[in-house]
Amino acid sequence: MTSPTACLLIIGNEVLSGRTQDANLKFLATRLGEIGIPLREVRVIPDVRATIVATVNEVRAKYDHVFTTGGIGPTHDDITSECVAAAFGVPWEPHPEAWRRLESHYARQSPPGDFNAARQRMATMPRGAALIDNIISIAPGFTMGNVHVLAGVPRIMQAMFEALAPTLKGGPPVVSAAVHATGLMEGRIAEGLADIQARYPDLDIGSYPYYRTGGGGVAVVAKGTDADAVKAAARDVLVFMRACGAHPAEGEPD
């Protein structure tokens, strides 16, 4: 069974400038792997209309799912929604249900909030968009075709994703197994690790050096959708590390 694939677009000048550190990639990569939709590409792009439109059109043709984070708030630089409308060639217009939710939300505040033009932007979406619920701050995300538009704030993004997740059809979940050995360096295991990778061509086997006060080492992670193969590959890595004179242990280093 071939698993559907995904791409993530992280949208925001604040990420590219270094002012804001992205905290969404790890969550999405992990959760998508659990669902069986491996994340194959990530791009960080600015709040520039032409760039967003062109990139959305490029990656939505290449991947089964595209997730975007950022740029759906009330300010002038929150242009993701209108750019997705442009990418699909449809009007960017008030979404009746999103408008109802936000108007009702601000009316219920004490004192009542102003559902002003800025906040109305959060209820304006591409024609035909399907809403993604937001239990944190009400303003919804949306799906347009195979593009899922999520908030940039991590807590809100995660809530939106969990609302969306039951509708996503994935393949076998991605599983992983790690082995690590302190005192063993990548250069010592590179050739043998390549041989193990060749025995398991359908897995991703990666080595990751780590450094600690008491000494460094290397962790090797096998990842794929065949749980038995992942377990077997990790066992082969452990045996190989022992043959190198190390004292490997299962799992990630502390």
47-106 pLDDT tens trace: 999 999 999 999 999 999 999 999 999 999 999 999 999 999 999 999 999 999 999 999
Mean pLDDT across 138-158 = 97
Average pLDDT for the chain = 95
CA–CA separation, 233 and 221 (whole Å): 9
Reported confidence tier of residue 151, pLDDT bands at 50, 70, 90: very high
- Please answer whether residues 67 and 7 qualify as being in contact, where contact means their C-beta atoms are separated by less than 8 angstroms: yes
CB atoms within 10 A of CB 149: 28
CA–CA separation, 211 and 217 (whole Å): 7
Write out the two tokens for 49.
Answer: 């209309």
Q: Which residues pair with 179 in a beta bridge?
A: 220, 250
The closest alpha carbon to 233, from 194, 188, 191, belongs to 194
pLDDT digits (tens, 9 = 90+) for 116-135: 999 999 999 999 999 999 99
- Please answer whether residues 136 and 155 qualify as being in contact, where contact means their C-beta atoms are separated by less than 8 angstroms: yes
Whether the per-residue pLDDT at 1 is higher than 70: the answer is no
pTM higher than 0.85: yes
pLDDT digits (tens, 9 = 90+) for 158-216: 999 999 999 999 999 999 999 999 999 999 999 999 999 999 999 999 999 999 887 89
Q: Which residues pair with 65 in a beta bridge?
A: 6
Reported confidence tier of residue 112, pLDDT bands at 50, 70, 90: confident
Q: In terms of residues, how long is the chain?
A: 254
**Torsions phi, psi of 10, nearest 5?**
-95, 115
